[in-house]
Amino acid sequence: MNAIFNQAPVEAEELRFTCGDSWLGAVLVAVSSQGVASILIGDHPDKLRRELAAAFPQARLVSDGDGLREPFDKVVDFLEAPGRGLDITLDVRGSALERAVWKALRAIPSGQTATYGQIAKTLPTPATAQEVGAACAANVLAVAIPCHRVVKADGSISGYRWGVGRKKRLINREAVA
């Protein structure tokens, strides 16, 4: 999986998106001119569209179900069999700290977890476990940036932008894949 790391959203860009279903719920995949800019998971496609609009307020959103069939199918296939990997180019946007956290998360192998504190210690600049958690909460690339693989210091599962239940199901699926 290639990743293009950008500092911030591009002004007045077009994002094409599509929604569909998976075993984990509704999935929205949005693509910029640089790659997949957002993967959102939830219960209702309309809510995911609103979440996309809030994450990219300057973007012109264009529904493109037919044109995005390939990246959408790759994401859904990855959800089904995470051990196979996800072969897509990502357009990753965030602060320097967020990008560092997300890069560290992408290094956690499928089927394994790390704690927020462990991730903080691997970063090139000092950060706290809470800052790692905040970067996870800011992630708009569900599963491609695997925030679901981060657990509390005692190994328990906590917070996940797309719901703790989904986080548990993702961890369990990766453990047996």
**Cα–Cα distance measured from residue 39 to residue 22, given in angstroms and rounded to the nearest whole number:** 13
147 is annotated as an active-site residue: yes
**Cα–Cα distance measured from residue 41 to residue 2, given in angstroms and rounded to the nearest whole number:** 21
**Cα–Cα distance measured from residue 1 to residue 71, given in angstroms and rounded to the nearest whole number:** 12
Q: What is the DSSP letter of 141?
A: B
The single residue of 3, 132, 141, 147 carrying the catalytic annotation is 147
**Closest to 116 measured CA to CA, from 101, 96, 132, 127:** 132
**Cα–Cα distance measured from residue 31 to residue 37, given in angstroms and rounded to the nearest whole number:** 5
Cβ-proximal residues to 116 (8 Å cutoff; 6+ apart), any chain: 129, 130, 132, 133, 136, 150, 151, 152, 153
**Cα–Cα distance measured from residue 19 to residue 4, given in angstroms and rounded to the nearest whole number:** 23
**Catalytic positions, please?**
147
